[in-house]
Chains A and B, each alone.
Chain A
Amino acid sequence: MYKYNPIDQAIVDARVSQFSEQMTRYLAGELPEEQFMPLRLQNGLYIQRHAPMLRVAIPYGTLAGYQLRHLAQIARKYDRGYGHFTTRQNIQFNWLALEQVPEVLGELATVQMHAIQTSGACVRNTTTDPLAGTVADEAIDPRVVCELIRQWSTFHPEFAYLPRKFKIAVVATEEDRAAIEVHDVGIRIKKHVIHGLAFDLWVGGGLGRTPLLGHRLLADLPLDELRNWLTAVLRVYNLAGRRDNKYKARIKILVNAMGVEAFREAVTHRYLTDHDSDLKISAETLEDLGDSFSCKLEPQPIEGHQGSLDFQRWYRQNTKPHRIMGYRSVFLSLKRPGTAPGDVTALQMDVIADLADRFSQSEIRTTHDQNLILPHVAESDLKELLQCLSAHDLAHPNLGLISDSIACPGLDFCSLANAPSLSLAEALHETFDDLDEQVDIGPLEVKISGCMNACGHHHIAHIGILGVEKKGQPWYQITLGGRDQQGAALGKRLGPAVPHDDVLPLIKRLVDTYLEERQPGEYFVGFVDRLGVDYLKEISYATH
């Protein structure tokens, strides 16, 4: 995987010094809160309900074993012994002391990590396919492009104070495992007869209060011009985006206000007028970065899988094919009963780091579904790996099933939330506690957000749950039929909000109806498409 060069390291070290000085000025009363807030946010530091929260960047969701081991040390030394993996492939620490944050950043820098631009109105961590480099049909490892975007966007003098946050996702396969249509900018890289490598540019997607799918603004652009096109998009947004109302400030609002055609014309004009040859990406750069991400694996004989029923269930549910014969990508579900989605203890981090070193080329991936992956495991090692994972509650075989729900921290931690999220995630485990039943139900994505900001991505869930406040009490709106892959769609509201304790009975009625009325081979989301939300509303609220 990519290793810092001296320039990368010098910049991250300088950032630690810069933020330490900013914190010193703030604590000394020399820097007003209104000026400190954007500075701390651009370093991922929030003031939350109970304590400061630090969001640490995991660029494009790729971690090395030694980095995860150091995150475990930070969890023990500065936090309460755990960390929380987020829906944007980062990790958060929820219980830091404000004055210790510069010290934590210093420690992170020793292992090529940082919190740069993990929040604030700037270009955030670029996310991508968590299976990058392991699948056979990639045009290029998308992390190569993500790293180029990371460098280009880090401390960009024009784009550090945008109207609002700006999120970019990149894929390089037909299958979209990064939800590019619900990002401010989505990039799909593909092979191209003329350009060699080209990309389609999606703009104006996003969730939050105004969920919208992005528009495919331009197609078949040569990949070597990516940074010039991104500059053009950002420049139009920075000059024309609204700043008078934070809820109207995302690029999706601008694109809709201008109209897609006018926005396309503006971006094209800026591209043609301001083109900078220094931003062109050379073939040599792509090749060098490609080498830094490539993983040299020798094909292995394929093992038989005659193990126990537990092994077979885990193999089927939690491992995926690898482009190299004899290897699998192994998913570690972070959705176990009794644990908040995405939470991992320091001990588990150490174990995962050790297992990555032993079995997966020292590499770990984070997913936007708040799970982890050991991406390169030889099939011959799978049984031993399962034993080790099981001993540390990391082998729960529920990937993609109804209990593999994602949830924001909700009212338990977040100062923006209206309602708890984590208790509903736990209630899913209790209501659907039979793994055989979950397998029978099949693929079903439940996503839970504690407020309209939609950090739990409920709009793109098969069953979305949104916490709202009614007369001081938490209630929940249910949406159905959302999805984030090809043919992405936003969920439709099922009906009136229900109180906390009615949410799971309602979902149970929906699922029972699905089990009774589904057609052969029909998944839940197809069932919703076929029967429609109005029909399901009658059933869901029948006994409510």
Chain B
Amino acid sequence: MPLINSQGAVTALSPPDALDPTQSDMTSVGDVLMIAFAFDSPVDGKAFSAAALLRAEGYGGTLIGVGPVGLDRLAYGFRAGFDVLELTDDEWQQLQPHHLSPFPHHYQPETRPSQPLKKSA
């Protein structure tokens, strides 16, 4: 999955596999404007933690999720910190407001960037 940095260059990193849970990751993606994470299957949820981890560390760029996210996981994705998630054409036709926010309350704190991304001059 390509990563685009502020100069429009594509890095060789391929998160979430590249995210080592034993290491801090902001050093490698700190100035990247946009990161896309792939969901390998309808039951693959690794990217939820990858996104949340970046948000927890203050990443303020755009996070995109591609692959079989599914209508019923949109809310998890946005709450985990994604900005954009992929849908199929059929899912787009079926999309209802409650898919974006099925619950009126959440038990967990919100996962949002703690600081805005600093764009390169």
| CB of B53 closer than 8 Å to a CB of A | yes
Residues of A173-231 whose CB lies within 8 A of B: none
Q: Which of A7, A34, A152, A274 is in CB contact (< 8 Å) with B57?
A: A274
| CB of A513 closer than 8 Å to a CB of B | no
Judging by beta carbons under 8 Å apart, are A160 and B53 in contact? no
Judging by beta carbons under 8 Å apart, are A25 and B94 in contact? yes
Given contacts A236-B21, A270-B21, contact A34 B42 (CB under 8 A): yes
CB neighbours of B68 from chain A (8 A): 35
Judging by beta carbons under 8 Å apart, are B48 and A158 in contact? yes
Contact indicator per residue, chain B 29-73, by CB within 8 Å of chain A (1) or not (0): 000000000001011111011101100110000000000101011
| CB of A157 closer than 8 Å to a CB of B | yes
Judging by beta carbons under 8 Å apart, are B102 and A239 in contact? no
Q: Which of A17, A34, A121, A262 is in CB contact (< 8 Å) with B22?
A: A262
Query: What separation, in Å, do the CA atoms of A152 and B102 have in the docked complex?
Result: 17
Judging by beta carbons under 8 Å apart, are A161 and B21 in contact? no
The dominant DSSP class at the A interface is helix
Query: What separation, in Å, do the CA atoms of A455 and B96 have in the docked complex?
Result: 39
Judging by beta carbons under 8 Å apart, are A155 and B70 in contact? no
Q: Which of B21, B40, B106 is in CB contact (< 8 Å) with A240?
A: B21
Judging by beta carbons under 8 Å apart, are B108 and A157 in contact? yes
Judging by beta carbons under 8 Å apart, are A161 and B56 in contact? no
Minimum CB–CB distance for A371 against chain B, Å: 31
- What is the chain B residue whose CB lies nearest that of A13? B104
Given contacts A38-B42, A239-B49, contact A157 B22 (CB under 8 A): no
Q: Which of A25, A157, A243 is in CB contact (< 8 Å) with B52?
A: A157
Judging by beta carbons under 8 Å apart, are A238 and B22 in contact? no
Q: Which of A121, A157, A240 is in CB contact (< 8 Å) with B79?
A: A157
| CB of B98 closer than 8 Å to a CB of A | yes
CB neighbours of A22 from chain B (8 A): 72
Judging by beta carbons under 8 Å apart, are B21 and A243 in contact? no
| CB of B100 closer than 8 Å to a CB of A | no
- What is the chain A residue whose CB lies nearest that of B106? A155
Query: What separation, in Å, do the CA atoms of A35 and B43 have in the docked complex?
Result: 8
Minimum CB–CB distance for B109 against chain A, Å: 4
- What is the chain B residue whose CB lies nearest that of A120? B43
- What is the chain B residue whose CB lies nearest that of A42? B72
- What is the chain B residue whose CB lies nearest that of A152? B107
Judging by beta carbons under 8 Å apart, are A35 and B42 in contact? yes
Judging by beta carbons under 8 Å apart, are A7 and B105 in contact? yes
Contact indicator per residue, chain A 141-178, by CB within 8 Å of chain B (1) or not (0): 00000000001101111111110000000000000000
Minimum CB–CB distance for A181 against chain B, Å: 24
- What is the chain A residue whose CB lies nearest that of B42? A35
Query: What separation, in Å, do the CA atoms of A235 and B49 have in the docked complex?
Result: 6
- What is the chain B residue whose CB lies nearest that of A244? B40
Q: Which of A25, A155, A161, A262 is in CB contact (< 8 Å) with B45?
A: A161
Judging by beta carbons under 8 Å apart, are A10 and B79 in contact? no
| CB of A279 closer than 8 Å to a CB of B | yes
| CB of A278 closer than 8 Å to a CB of B | yes
Residues of B104-121 whose CB lies within 8 A of A: 104-109, 111
Q: Which of A17, A155, A159, A270 is in CB contact (< 8 Å) with B98?
A: A17
Query: What separation, in Å, do the CA atoms of A266 and B19 have in the docked complex?
Result: 12
Residues of A251-297 whose CB lies within 8 A of B: 262, 265-266, 269-270, 273-274, 276, 278-279
Minimum CB–CB distance for A32 against chain B, Å: 9
Q: A11-B104, A157-B76, A238-B46 are in contact. List 15 more A-B contacts (CB 8 A).
A: A17-B102, A35-B72, A154-B107, A155-B103, A156-B107, A157-B77, A157-B80, A158-B48, A158-B52, A161-B45, A235-B53, A236-B21, A239-B21, A270-B21, A274-B56
Footprint of A on B, CB under 8 Å? 16, 19, 21-24, 40, 42-46, 48-50, 52-53, 56-57, 68, 70, 72-73, 75-77, 79-80, 90, 94, 96, 98, 102-109, 111
7 A-B pairs in the complex with CB atoms less than 8 angstroms apart: A155-B103, A158-B45, A160-B45, A236-B21, A239-B19, A269-B22, A270-B21
The 7 closest A-B pairs by CB, nearest first: A161-B45, A157-B79, A278-B109, A238-B49, A266-B22, A274-B56, A151-B107
